[in-house]
Structure 1
Amino acid sequence: MGANHRDEGTGDPAVSEVPVASKFKSVRRVFRIMDLVSQRGENLTAKELARELNTNLSSCYYLLNILADEGYIQKIAGGGYRIGPAIPLLNEGSRRYFDSTIEPIVTELARRAQRHAYAAVLSDGEVVITQAKAPEKRPLVGVVEGFHGASHALALGKVLLAGAGSEYVEEYIDAHGLEAFTPRTIVRPNQLHAHLNKVLMVGVATDFEEFAQNLCCYAAPVKSRGGKVEGAIGLSTTTSRVRSEGQQLIELVQWAATEATALLVDAAYEGRNSA
């Protein structure tokens, strides 16, 4: 049987016969454009983008116009492009989904540990605390919901930086520096890179009075199906309790991160009876 089937009504090639390879190539080029614009859009021309994409100029303009019409990129007067207003809306929607999905786990973590539990995401290099849960009848101490910054000094931020990769960490250092919040804060770039490599290997980050006196934290990554770090979940305690309860808190954080990851991966997940 021949490969070129035609629709009996129109004589045109059947829809199923339209090559999909070209469609996938266009989709990849759209994502590549957004990636390039986010990195160095102000210095990019359409010709340079076309060269980067290995496509002709008219095809590049076609994709640029679609992205601009939908608000994903904007043309800058005088040349170049920048990320458009639709991208922050996507990020905000993703963050709301992340929070609503894992909130039961953060609440349960605070209850089981009888310590303050947190969820966080990364935004422009800064850790953003999206949830802060206190055990029942205990006031919240430490960082609060809505806090942002100090990624290199908080366990939650270290997990997120480690998951973002060494190039992202370099950009963070260039943009934000390594402020010393306490004498224990990591302030040398090579030391931070080594520390984050260890976080990647063991899957847990710690900070012992690196952001504030008498505040110690543990955190672990929450991942998507593809293994991308989407956020972090953690616990805080005091310096005097670290020796006696540190290992237990690490195990609880790892349990919570595993449960939260499962919730993100499978929306129909109904919970487990582990731990």
Structure 2
Amino acid sequence: MTTESPPEDAQDKYIVPGLERGLRLLGEFSSRERTLSAAELARRLKVPRSTVFRLLATLEMMGFVERTDGGREFRLGMAVLRLGFDYLASLELTELGRPLLDRLRDEIHYPCNLVVRDGRSIVYVAKSVSPRPFASTVNVGTRLPAHATVLGRVLLEDLSLDELRALYPESRLEVFSESTPRTVEELYDMVQRDRERGYVLQEGFFEASISTIAAPVRDRTGKVVAALGATIPASRIEPDQLDNMVEMVRGAAAELSRLLDYRPPEPPRPFGLG
């Protein structure tokens, strides 16, 4: 006795056209075409541009796509990753970053992490655990508030004050420790100082007695796409080791940025030379 598949027209009655179009739209993005415009998506899907705008609005609201290039184009959002963390392992960022995390861990002997931002949260996408006893509650996939964490501050560096206000429209930010900024303006001033410094080192910002060193990872466009950091019991940091550890973290972040094709802008040449 054989089981036959239902005829094609019988299968069609179970198809949800909007869902099908949304999934087809997501499938148009690739490693070669990371950004696409609504007009280009409408052409490829052979549907009216108004339909594509509705699909994009829905997917953007759910975090599956996000705007880029001043809102004219779209790219995949972090919600795509939440469909399954097996996909995380295949990302260029984590593939390139994991060996660097392992090397940094071996150099400083403390846990090292790589995180990205998803809206108002940071998401841990890779970690390297130290053999030293160290109580850590974070795993790949752990989400923490961006504004209240050192790694999150790094990931907010590129945002303007208006963009931060759009992300945090409330008048007072949720407080997690004495160090948490209370307002968007206070947060903006803090992350701009971090940006000028090029790294963050702070004790007890999110958890008491825990110090974090973090530095930005940038892609070929210069955008901060991840934060690379080390987590250390504050009482164990020797002052004479701090500078060396900071430079190691910054070096690992800079190396990952280079692997992502980031090229720092060249300093201006002195006037009259050349």
TM-score normalized by the length of structure 2 = 0.64
| Aligned residue identity for 2:59 | I
1:82 corresponds to = 58
| Corresponding position of 2:207 | 212
Q: How far has the Cα of 1:69 moved from its partner?
A: 5.4
2:213 counterpart SS class: strand
Aligned to 2:217: 222
Q: Percent identity, aligned pairs only?
A: 19
Please name the residue that 2:42 is paired with: 65
After TM superposition, give the deviation of residue 99 of structure 1 in Å: 0.7
Contact residue 161 and residue 185 of structure 2 kept, 8 A: no
How many angstroms does 1:108 deviate by? Answer: 0.9
Q: Name the SS of the counterpart of 2:117 in structure 1.
A: strand
How many residues align? The count is 207
What is the root-mean-square deviation in Å for CA atoms of aligned residues?
3.4
- Which residue matches 1:260? 256
CA spacing shift, 1:211–1:128, aligned 2, 3 Å: same
Report the equivalent of 1:7. none
CA distance in 2, matches of 1:176, 1:191: 11
Aligned-residue offset at 1:125: 2.7
Q: Deviations over 1:52-96 (max 9, x none)?
A: xxxxxxxxxx656337659x975549xx94337673489546882
Pair 30,256 (structure 1): closer, same or farther in 2 beyond 3 Å = closer
User: SS in structure 1 opposite 2:94?
Assistant: helix
CA contact (8 A) 2:42 2:52 kept: no
Q: Which amino acid aligns with 1:256?
A: A
Among residues 113, 123, 128, which one is paired with 1:133 in the alignment?
Answer: 128
Q: SS of the residue aligned with 2:221?
A: coil
Query: 1:143 Cα deviation (Å)?
Result: 3.2
| 1:1-275 equivalence runs, <5 A | 31=37, 33=38, 63=40, 65-66=42-43, 74=52, 76=54, 81-83=57-59, 87-88=76-77, 92=81, 96-136=91-131, 138-139=133-134, 141=136, 143-174=138-169, 178-242=173-237, 244=239, 245-265=241-261
- TM-score for both structures, normalised by structure 1: 0.64
The range that moved more, 231-240 or 82-91, is 82-91
Query: 2:111 & 2:156 partners in 1: Cα distance?
Result: 22
**Larger CA Rg, structure 1 vs 2:** 1
Q: CA deviation at 1:129?
A: 1.1
1:163 Cα offset (Å):
2.4
Per the TM alignment, residue 233 of structure 1 is displaced from its structure 2 partner at its CA by 0.3
Determine the C-alpha separation between the residues in 2 that align with 1:137 and 1:207.
21
Whole-Å Cα distance in 2 between the matches of residues 75 and 187 of structure 1? Answer: 37
Task: Answer whether contact 1:133 1:140 (CA < 8 A) is retained.
Answer: no
- Pair 142,199 (structure 1): closer, same or farther in 2 beyond 3 Å: farther
Cα pair 1:154 1:207 within 8 Å, conserved: no
SS at match of 2:220: coil
Cα distance in 2, alignment partners of residues 175 and 100 from structure 1: 37
After superposition, the Cα gap between the structure-2 partners of 1:263 and 1:75, relative to the gap in structure 1 and judged at 3 Å, is closer
What letter corresponds to residue 42 of structure 2 in structure 1?
A: N
Residues 184 and 208, structure 1, Cα contact 8 Å, conserved in 2: no
Deviations 1:197-239 (A, max 9, x none): 1111111123321211111111111111221111110011122
1:163 match: secondary structure:
coil
Where do 4+ consecutive residues of structure 1 move more than 6 Å? none
Partners of 1:136 and 1:176 lie apart in 2 by 43
Q: Greater helix percent: which structure?
A: 1
Rounded Cα–Cα distance in structure 2 between residues aligned with 1:240 and 1:165? 35
